[in-house]
């Protein structure tokens, strides 16, 4: 009777006994589409033949250079994403259970195998492996999503605002990798009525950079609530960055803004960061004088100049990380850029974050945006 292998597969048979290997090969020749079979007589030889094209490994547990589960463990380590079927002469049910518990998809005794059973076991082994890999990816995705949610709550907190005269809108999108990086922002209104904003970007991607962003964001909020501003605040954050970073080459860009209690004027420091976009009446432009100093973590004696920005009675302001201006627009090789961002805001007639983000294409980096607008009385 014809065995049920309906497509041509590529198998690796790890078997030192020529007679047993011949038997397996003859049984598989009866399949509807006989597989391509590579043979290895030892574990050492199998190492060089376990290439990505191998879809299933049939391994004996009695090899000249490996005994019992040692051979299986080695094969599983070498080919973690490949189905593995144990095929041996040992009639030991405990060994079979142990083999499956160790990671094999099935366990067959040579003397009990016919063509149909062997073909079916190979097919089932491959399907079980696919299911295992899919389940592992699902679990990893769920863990990543939970970790991202925890980091996002720390990186992107709600604003501490008491005034109803300020509209505050934020957006955050992870880059193409899907994992949070070190982009962060925060907004705090102090008892004197001043509104303080920060947006920052830790260079690099990964959990270490995200954790560093959390530390800097919390450090900034703590310092602002304690009444620290200006260069004192920046030098303290610079010291915090140097103490917490895993690599001495990691730096952080920042944009700091303080809006006066009457909401008509702002002072800013652009710490190696892209300039905010301002809409004042019908005029759309960026903060001049960018940058006002280098990023944190580069020069221990860095200084940052203060940028005075008149706002007037009617205004909106957008702070963002470079993931926005480095996003593609139109041509996959064309970046939005600061000029393109200003042009989009002008075309929209206002800062509309959803329309703005919807206009850009692929993100190569995390994108964080904060928009504040003075509400009309």
The pLDDT assigned to 2 comes to: 42
DSSP 8-state secondary structure symbol assigned to residue 110 = G
Provide, rounded to the nearest whole percent, the portion of the chain with pLDDT above 90: 41
- Domain annotation covers residue 106: yes
Same domain (yes/no): 179, 115:
no
Cα–Cα distance measured from residue 298 to residue 295, given in angstroms and rounded to the nearest whole number: 7
At 180, is the pLDDT very low, low, confident or very high (cuts 50, 70, 90)?
low
The pLDDT assigned to 155 comes to: 65
- Domain annotation covers residue 88: yes
As a whole number, mean pLDDT of residues 56-67 equals 85
Same domain (yes/no): 120, 52:
yes
Six-digit token string for 94: 């405990």
The pLDDT assigned to 94 comes to: 72
Provide, rounded to the nearest whole percent, the portion of the chain with pLDDT above 70: 90
334, 327 Cβ separation under 8 angstroms: no
- Domain annotation covers residue 144: no
Alpha-carbon dihedral angle through residues 47, 52, 57, 59, given to the nearest 10 degrees: 0
Alpha-carbon dihedral angle through residues 6, 7, 12, 17, given to the nearest 10 degrees: 40
Same domain (yes/no): 213, 100:
no
The pLDDT assigned to 191 comes to: 95
> Containing H/E element for 359?
helix 353-359
Enter the pTM of the model: 0.63
Same domain (yes/no): 197, 110:
no
Q: Nearest to residue 122, comparing CAs of 38, 216, 53, 28?
A: 28
As a whole number, mean pLDDT of residues 351-366 equals 82
Domain CATH code at residue 163: 3.60.40.10
pLDDT tens-digit map of 96-146? 778 888 888 888 887 788 888 888 888 888 888 888 877 777 777 676 666
Same domain (yes/no): 287, 251:
yes
Same domain (yes/no): 363, 223:
yes
How many Cβ atoms sit within 10 Å of the Cβ of residue 145?
A: 11
Checking if the pLDDT of 148 tops 70, the result is no
Last residue of a domain, one of 101, 136, 171: 136
Cα–Cα distance measured from residue 234 to residue 221, given in angstroms and rounded to the nearest whole number: 12
Contacts of 290 (CB under 8 A, 6+ apart): 270, 273, 274, 275
The pLDDT assigned to 178 comes to: 55
Between 141 and 176, the higher pLDDT residue: 141
pLDDT tens-digit map of 273-317? 999 999 998 899 998 876 788 999 999 889 999 999 999 999 999
Of 27-31, 57-61, 152-156, 235-239, the range with the lowest mean pLDDT is: 152-156
Cα–Cα distance measured from residue 371 to residue 352, given in angstroms and rounded to the nearest whole number: 9
Please state whether beta strands 106-109 and 83-88 pair in parallel, antiparallel, or not at all (unpaired): parallel
Average pLDDT, the chain: 86
Beta bridge partners of 272: 254
Q: How many domains does the chain have?
A: 2
Cα–Cα distance measured from residue 43 to residue 72, given in angstroms and rounded to the nearest whole number: 9
Beta strands in 190-233 (DSSP E): 195-205
Q: How far is CA 191 from CA 78, 188, 227, 260, 261, in A?
A: 62, 10, 10, 12, 10
At 342, is the pLDDT very low, low, confident or very high (cuts 50, 70, 90)?
very high
Range of 63's domain?
10-136
Cα–Cα distance measured from residue 324 to residue 67, given in angstroms and rounded to the nearest whole number: 57
As a whole number, mean pLDDT of residues 9-33 equals 88
First to last CA, the chain: 86
């Amino acid at each position: 009777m014809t065995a049920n292998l309906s497509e041509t597969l590529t198998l690796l048979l790890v078997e030192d006994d020529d007679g047993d290997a011949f038997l397996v090969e003859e049984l598989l020749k009866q399949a509807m589409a006989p597989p391509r079979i590579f043979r290895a007589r030892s574990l050492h030889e199998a190492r060089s033949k376990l290439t990505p094209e191998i879809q299933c490994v049939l391994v004996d547990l009695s090899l000249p250079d490996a005994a019992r589960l040692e051979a299986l463990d080695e094969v599983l380590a070498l080919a973690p994403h490949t189905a593995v079927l144990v095929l041996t002469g040992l009639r030991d049910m405990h060994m079979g259970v142990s083999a499956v518990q160790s990671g094999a998809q099935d366990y067959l005794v040579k003397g009990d195998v016919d063509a149909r059973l062997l073909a079916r076991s190979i097919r089932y082994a491959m399907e079980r492996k696919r299911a295992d890999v899919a389940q592992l990816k699902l679990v990893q995705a769920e863990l990543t999503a939970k970790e991202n949610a925890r980091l996002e709550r720390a990186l992107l907190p709600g604003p501490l605002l008491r005034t109803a005269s300020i509209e505050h809108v934020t957006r955050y999108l992870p880059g193409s990798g899907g994992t949070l990086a070190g982009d962060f922002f925060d907004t705090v209104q102090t008892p004197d009525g001043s509104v303080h904003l920060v947006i920052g970007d830790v260079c690099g991607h990964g959990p270490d950079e995200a954790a560093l962003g959390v530390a800097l964001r919390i450090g900034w909020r703590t310092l602002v609530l304690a009444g620290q501003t200006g260069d004192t605040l920046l030098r303290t954050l610079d010291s915090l960055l140097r103490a917490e970073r895993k690599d001495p080459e990691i730096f952080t860009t920042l944009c700091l803004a303080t809006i006066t209690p009457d909401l008509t004027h702002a002072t800013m420091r652009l710490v190696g960061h892209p300039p905010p976009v301002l809409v004042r009446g019908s005029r759309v432009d960026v903060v001049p004088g960018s940058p006002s100093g280098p990023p944190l973590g580069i020069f221990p004696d860095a200084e940052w100049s203060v940028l005075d920005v008149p706002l007037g009675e009617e205004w909106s302001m957008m702070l963002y990380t470079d993931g926005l201006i480095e996003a593609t627009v139109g041509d996959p090789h064309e970046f939005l850029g600061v000029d393109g961002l200003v042009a989009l805001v002008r075309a929209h007639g206002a800062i509309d974050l959803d329309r703005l983000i919807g206009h850009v294409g692929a993100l190569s980096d995390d994108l964080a945006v904060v928009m504040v607008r003075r509400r009309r009385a």
